[in-house]
């Protein structure tokens, strides 16, 4: 079974530039998550999709971050404009759990995209 | 907000020794999960323990859960250099699947 795919693996941009990350979850996984992991910290959820609908985006800085999951499969996360504090690893994960299910099941993570904002 | 907190933040042991990491959390949970992250890689799910379980084993891993103390521990027996990684506990925030991760324990196993 193929795992969660992410690209690019690394990205270096200057502040105020824009950047986009792509994620392809495990086939059949309805739920997709984007996490931000700052060096030395645990991952923090930015946004959660159930199919192509947003379940939770309470911690997404909506003035600069946006995400979409068209057709309920692939997803893109965009930052525009980037700030220095956006330097982090952006992790995509997927799971079988549904909003109406028992919740909080195992999540499968991609390798992440390491973003450096200079 | 941070739900889980791991202790210690860093742990260095010799190959063959056991490693114990602890996690404390704040609110009621229906399960607690442990993940491993190798340097520069994504997280890998290790084990899930439900709130009605007190102990669970998987290979060299042993996880305990004490809901009265809101704490969990992860024991890795007979550690290997390949166990060098960061270990995170995670708890569900709601029924929708959102996980809240702790800060992690950085384990270094020296050959």
Model confidence pLDDT, tens digit, residues B22-31: 999 988 888 8
Question: Once rounded to an integer, what is the mean pLDDT over residues A65-79?
Answer: 94
The whole-angstrom separation of Cα A61 and Cα A31 is: 21
Cβ of residue B102 closer than 8 Å to a chain A Cβ:
yes
Confidence of residue A52 (pLDDT cuts 50, 70, 90): confident
CA distances from A32 to A49, A107, B42 (A): 5, 9, 15
Q: Note the residue count of chain B.
A: 111
- Report whether pLDDT(A48) > 90: yes
| B48 contact residues in A (CB cutoff 8 A) | 105-106
Let me know: does B2 contact B88? Beta carbons within 8 Å.
Answer: no
- Report whether pLDDT(A99) > 60: no
Task: Note the pLDDT tens digit of each residue in A9-27.
Answer: 999 999 999 999 999 999 9
Other CB atoms closer than 10 Å to residue B34's CB: what's the count?
25
Beta bridge partners of B109: B13
Residue B83: both structure tokens together:
């166990």
Which residues make Cβ contacts (< 8 Å) with residue A37, sequence separation at least 6? A43, A44, A88, A89, A90, A91, A112
Half-sphere exposure of residue A56: CA atoms within 13 angstroms, side-chain side: 20
The whole-angstrom separation of Cα A35 and Cα B88 is: 14
Which of B31, B35, B40 faces A104 most closely, judged by CB atoms? Answer: B31
Interchain contact, A106 vs B31, CB within 8 Å: no
Residue B1 has a pLDDT of 45
Interchain contact, A93 vs B43, CB within 8 Å: yes
Confidence of residue A97 (pLDDT cuts 50, 70, 90): low
**Which three-class secondary structure state does DSSP give residue A84?**
helix
Mean pLDDT for chain B overall: 92
The phi and psi torsions of B83 (rounded to 5 degrees) equal: -80, -10
């Amino acid at each position: 079974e193929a795992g969660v795919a992410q690209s690019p693996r690394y990205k270096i941009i200057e502040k105020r530039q824009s950047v986009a990350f792509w994620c392809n979850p495990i086939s059949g996984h309805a739920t997709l998550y984007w996490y931000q992991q700052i060096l030395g910290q645990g991952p923090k959820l930015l946004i959660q999709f159930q199919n192509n609908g947003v379940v939770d985006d309470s911690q997404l800085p909506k003035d600069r971050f946006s995400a979409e999951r068209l057709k309920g499969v692939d997803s893109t996360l965009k930052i525009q404009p980037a700030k220095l504090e956006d330097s982090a690893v952006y992790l995509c994960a997927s799971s079988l759990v549904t909003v109406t299910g028992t919740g909080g099941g195992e999540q499968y993570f991609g390798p992440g995209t390491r973003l450096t904002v200079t | 907000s941070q739900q889980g907190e791991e202790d210690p933040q860093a742990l260095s042991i010799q190959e063959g020794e056991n490693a114990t990491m602890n996690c404390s959390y704040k609110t009621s949970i229906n399960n607690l999960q442990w993940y491993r992250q190798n340097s520069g890689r994504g997280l890998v799910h290790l084990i899930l323990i439900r709130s009605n379980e007190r102990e669970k084993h998987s290979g060299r891993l042993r996880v305990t859960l004490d809901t009265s103390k809101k704490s969990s521990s992860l024991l890795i027996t007979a550690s290997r250099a390949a166990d060098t990684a960061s270990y995170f506990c995670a708890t569900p925030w709601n029924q929708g699947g959102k996980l809240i991760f702790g800060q992690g324990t950085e384990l270094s196993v020296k050959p």
